[in-house]
């Protein structure tokens, strides 16, 4: 089997797994405890935080450990809205965000906040002028993702950050960076980011842990009450082993990013070109997207049919976001990009990892040609009878 669902989750590096196993066996003390085992765990946690901060060119005090991107996004969005509601109750995002962002805003709408959803173009990129026009004196937060998890569309974060701060310097700028770290360059200062979310299992780290960057001076209303861990941002005993594993994965991800970009771009471009030539396919991703995610549709066939047909041929691909892939609704992202219902209901996502090579892409293309070749007569027959 060749695994093409790295946007869903990535296999943890062997070094990450071995490091975590060692920490779990030898350093199981609670880092809040005052005895020797607790102090040893606290030192490991401190070092992990420093490594994570260095990978983002941030300060260790700006790193909040979370259980992953869903918690991080909820913490950033709801925590900022609740903390700064005296400034206003207006928020800005798009309808192409990950469910953990989109549903957070929908929930805040139900609680009385006003949300402006900025449109995107046919390639999924934010209309920056529309965003600029939407920022008001009472706008507390703008949340825009770095890389779209379905199509790979890359947002112009530097332009967005400058626009937001020029319109209202007090408006906070949150970035869901889950699909960008380790694939594209990250520059929180140039983007003027106040909040930035990561999840370790998207860059060959462990599941169940992530990072929320909280710029110094920004306060968040804590969603989890209890102890004073994470400088009061998040109560709960820290997962030391996972934090150490994530720190190693972040360091490796940043070091490998230039080579990953080069190799993945070659493979993605080949896939974009050759899949577009297969009869009946519709490409939903542009060449300007991130190097590791591409999306196409095969209208007339349910996407799960293609997924299982490719699986029988040794290729593992996915449909929408892993959080939504088992739902039968059309892709919200593709609909917002202006795709019709047949295209939005049949999207297939291919996402690359660092071990993929051009020969793997050739095998995937051959498998897709075989699968669609078998299905095409049924589509044509169905079209004839309609």
Residue 235's pLDDT is what? Answer: 66
Residue 224's pLDDT is what? Answer: 83
The closest of 346, 265, 337, 231 to 300, measured between CA atoms, is 346
Q: Which residues have a catalytic role annotated?
A: 323
> pLDDT per residue over 7-66, tens digit each?
999 999 999 999 999 999 999 888 988 899 889 999 999 999 999 999 999 999 999 999
Does one domain contain both 128 and 181?
yes
Does one domain contain both 273 and 190?
no
Q: Is the pLDDT of residue 259 over 90?
A: yes
Mean pLDDT value of segment 239-252: 97
- What is the DSSP track for 251-282? HHHHHHHHHHHHHHHHHHHHHHHHHHTSTT-E
% residues pLDDT > 70 (the chain): 95
Contact 20, 242 (CB under 8 A): yes
Residue 289 forms part of a structural domain: yes
Residue 180's pLDDT is what? Answer: 98
Band of residue 384 on the pLDDT scale cut at 50, 70, 90: very low
Tokens (6 digits) for 308: 């299982």
Mean pLDDT value of segment 258-282: 97
Residue 276 forms part of a structural domain: yes
Rounded CA gap, 189 and 196, in Å? 11
State which residues form the domain around 318.
Answer: 2-6+256-385
Q: Looking at residue 380, which CATH number applies to its domain? A: 3.90.1150.10
Mean pLDDT value of segment 350-378: 94
> pLDDT per residue over 94-151, tens digit each?
999 999 999 999 999 999 999 999 999 999 999 999 999 999 999 999 999 999 999 9
Rounded CA gap, 206 and 211, in Å? 12
Contact 141, 105 (CB under 8 A): no
For residue 93, give the DSSP letter: E
> pLDDT per residue over 164-175, tens digit each?
999 999 999 999
Mean pLDDT value of segment 212-233: 87
Does one domain contain both 289 and 149?
no
- Number of domains composing the chain: 2
Does one domain contain both 69 and 208?
yes
Q: Looking at residue 188, which CATH number applies to its domain? A: 3.40.640.10
Does one domain contain both 151 and 294?
no
Does one domain contain both 100 and 164?
yes
Does one domain contain both 90 and 185?
yes
Residue 63 has phi, psi (to 5 degrees) of -100, 120
Does one domain contain both 298 and 222?
no
């Amino acid at each position: 089997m060749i695994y093409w669902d790295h946007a869903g989750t990535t296999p943890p590096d062997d070094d990450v797994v071995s490091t975590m196993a060692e920490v779990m066996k030898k350093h199981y003390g609670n880092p809040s405890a005052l005895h020797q085992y607790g102090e040893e765990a606290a030192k490991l946690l401190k070092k992990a935080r420093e490594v994570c901060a260095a990978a983002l060119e941030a300060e260790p005090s700006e790193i909040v450990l979370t259980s992953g991107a869903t918690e991080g996004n909820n913490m950033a969005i709801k925590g900022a809205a609740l903390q700064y509601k005296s400034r206003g109750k207006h928020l800005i995002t798009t309808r192409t965000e990950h469910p953990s962002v989109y549903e957070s805003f929908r929930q805040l709408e139900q609680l009385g906040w006003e949300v402006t959803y900025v449109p995107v173009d046919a390639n999924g990129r934010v209309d920056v002028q529309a965003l600029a026009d939407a920022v008001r004196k009472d706008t507390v937060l703008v949340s825009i993702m770095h890389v779209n998890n379905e199509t790979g569309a890359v947002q112009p974060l530097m332009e967005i950050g400058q626009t937001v701060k020029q319109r209202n310097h007090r408006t906070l700028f949150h970035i869901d960076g889950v699909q960008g770290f380790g694939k594209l360059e990250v520059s929180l200062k140039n983007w003027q980011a106040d909040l930035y979310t990561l999840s370790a299992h998207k860059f060959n780290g462990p599941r169940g842990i992530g990072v929320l960057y909280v710029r110094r001076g920004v306060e968040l209303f804590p969603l989890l009450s209890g102890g004073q861990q994470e400088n009061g941002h998040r109560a709960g005993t820290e997962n030391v082993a996972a934090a150490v594993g994530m720190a190693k994965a972040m360091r490796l991800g940043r070091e490998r990013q230039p080579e990953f970009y080069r190799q993945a771009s070659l493979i993605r471009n080949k896939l974009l070109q050759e899949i577009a030539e297969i009869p009946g396919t519709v490409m939903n991703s542009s060449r300007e997207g991130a190097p590791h995610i591409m999306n196409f549709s095969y209208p007339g066939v349910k996407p799960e049919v293609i997924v299982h047909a490719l699986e029988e041929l040794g290729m593992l691909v996915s449909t929408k976001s892993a959080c939504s892939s088992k739902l039968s609704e059309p892709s919200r992202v593709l609909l917002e990009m202006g795709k019709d219902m047949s295209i939005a209901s049949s999207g297939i996502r291919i996402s690359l990892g660092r071990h993929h090579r051009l020969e793997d892409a050739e095998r995937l293309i051959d498998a897709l040609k075989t699968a669609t070749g078998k299905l095409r007569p049924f589509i044509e027959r169905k079209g004839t009878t309609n």
